[in-house]
Structure 1
Amino acid sequence: MSLPAFLDLEAIRADFPILQREVHGKPLVYLDSAASAQKPRAVIEAMSHAMEYSYANVHRGLHTLANETTDAYEAARRKVAGFIGAGENEIVFTKGATEAINLVASSFGASLGEGDEIVLTEMEHHANIVPWHFLRERKGVVLKFVPITDEGVLDLEAFQRLLGPKTRMVAVGHMSNVTGTINPVTEITRMAHEVGALVLIDGCQGVVHMPVDVKAIDADFYVFSSHKLYGPTGIGVLYGKAERLAALPPYQGGGEMIGAVTLESISYADPPHRFEAGTPAILEAIGLGAAIDWLSGLDRLAIARHEAALYARVREGLAGANWLRVLGEAPDKGAIFSFTVDGAHAHDVAQILDRYGVAVRAGTHCAEPLMRRFGVTSSARASFALYNTEAEADAFVDALTKTQAFFA
């Protein structure tokens, strides 16, 4: 299958300095973007410029550097809001998507009691399982899990049966980091709201690979990380409907999140600052803003078609490989290719692929329940991004075929 001719791949790849390097004498083929994407020069330069020419702490200073840095930090919040169709006061900066989920679980969980129910799915990342288990352990909350089919698709009929008068929260991934399954989050949200439950969507993969409009989805909370979105590590985003954030107690205490402090009492700032205690990830927010500017200059639908074509090319290249098992074959899935090789451990597969310059992930991908559902202990994962090429897809197929020969 030929790639759609909508993206200037040569220009895009030139924006990523790291893609010019070699590994073990071979051109780098980076297929681990689902774990963390590489960074375009615009992000690197934005953060460097802020450190070199205009850095200070935000919000509390009155001098020029403080004002400039505060403006840049809050501009990043506005860019994030515009990127997902949210209000500026509905965007909370966290240190990552994991903290964002923990924030909601902790603050919303304060109102839960024994017997209240939270509905998750078998395909969730640990970050969207473990914080809810804390509530199970500490407050007697009941966790229920939506099963998936052999193809990796959520069983929506089973989901409907799990919903009930005690359901307080539904937490679900927009797109699986293992199978690439894209969940019908708008429909899931509608079904949850019909029984009075709130909805949190883990958008770490979804926001990277498709346009997201949180208002159209109608989810109460939507979280994602910067580093998968071509931005820096150390910062993530919690979107919450204004009324939902206003109803949550603070997650952490300290500077910035307060209204007033006396020896006898405290009051809290309005959201989003209520949830941003202490000095935030200032440079990282500026870098995230630069990543959004850069990505917004590209055709998102063309990117999705490009990534889908790469995935299809790999599947065609490996057609008939009876030594290969692919995990998840959902229709219209994202460009994530998780697989096992007969007679080989995923770690060994990844290490041999690395000798050919091909970087893939190996392990449980922080999704042990999903691994058990598929009856495997681990898998290897090649994940495709907008900067990958036909030649790299072919290089992966060739390297994997050669790798399998070691175990034949």
Structure 2
Amino acid sequence: MIASPSNGLGPLGPEDIDAGDCARCGTGLKMGKLRVPGHRVLADATCPQCSDEYFIDVPSSFALLSPVRYCHTQQRHLGAAILPFWQNWFDKMMEAQAEVEVEINLGKAVERPLLLHCLDPIFGHALKRLFHADAYMKRYPERPLIPLIAPWLQSFLPEGIAGAITVKWKGGSGLGWSRELDNRMAAFIQQYPGTEFCQTVPSLASEDIDISRFSGVQPMERSSGRNRARPTVCYVWRDTRCWGGSIEAQLENVQQLRRQLLSETPDMRFVVAGISSSDRWDDETEFLLFEKPGPEQDRQLNLLYSQSDVVIGGHGSNMILPSAHAGGTVELVPPKRWHNAWTASFFRSDCSPAEAVFYHRYLPDTTDIGTICDVVHVISGFAPRFDLLGGGDNTRFERVDAGRLTAEAASLPGFRP
């Protein structure tokens, strides 16, 4: 289905897509133009023998793993769906029309641009596509990079891009077919010959990502958390997929969590943060909540995460930026999310396997409050000992300073393995 560079991801044009054969007569399909009706990039294909028309997923992001081949004439899918949700989203796109506003901002004249398609109704999916930007700019410095984004990704655009195409949905879920977007992108491709799309994967390796390039905030230096007198713990609030099944249950759980953590560590700073319209907080709870995301709101949240020893939250896109910036995370996973629990975590490029296991914990969302508190205390309080006992940067063979390790161990009150 794809003719991309064998040594990595690369740009995709119509010539890189193998449409396959017609399901009716077996004749090889003739490729048409690339289309951008919404959350995915499609290629037109037509059978020169029987004239059946097809839509073919451009092999990128989830379509790289589970491409949809759909016969528009017969109104049926060809082949089984490896990722059912991706095929279901296609069906929803075919069923509904979407009204959008499209704003094209180019900072300079462009030739043969690369379009980085980051339109997705789920924030984490979209952000992970944007994370490919630096890798493409490094590998193809002569080609201007232009992301396609929803407004809520504007805060995370890195320096060096040639501009952005912003798509604002007027209501709906962001899954419908937009004629306006499709027409505008067709005109763009015609105006700029040689335009190609950046191939992406659902989760790019963190070695290719400098999170500060996207958030503008440096993550916590874990070694700087040693012997901190006042640890900071943050709970990421969201109004959907609530901890306990409802906003009321989540509110009670968070308040109980705060009370128990503070009873054990009175000097701890506990903050509730995120995007929410909830206003049911008492005067004793510190919170950093915003009704809508925006550049300043995102900056404040990421700054808080970078100052947090541990961030706690339910599994989902809301945990990507906390895990990228905080000292550690505790992710509460619903029963039906264990198969992809890790996908909402950002593992830093300097994070060894042992550090990943230590600093990023996954618990069932039914875990009792006491156990959650125990895990939080382990991450925030045992971190200095972890660095000395093994798994951290201090114990890499070529960097061991035995005298310094001994001195640091002696400086820790009551140190014991």
Same fold, TM-score > 0.5, yes or no: no
- The structure with the largest alpha-carbon Rg is 2
Q: Give the helix-richer structure, 1 or 2.
A: 1
Which has the bigger relative contact order, CA under 8 A and spacing at least 6?
A: 1
- TM-score normalised by L of structure 2: 0.29
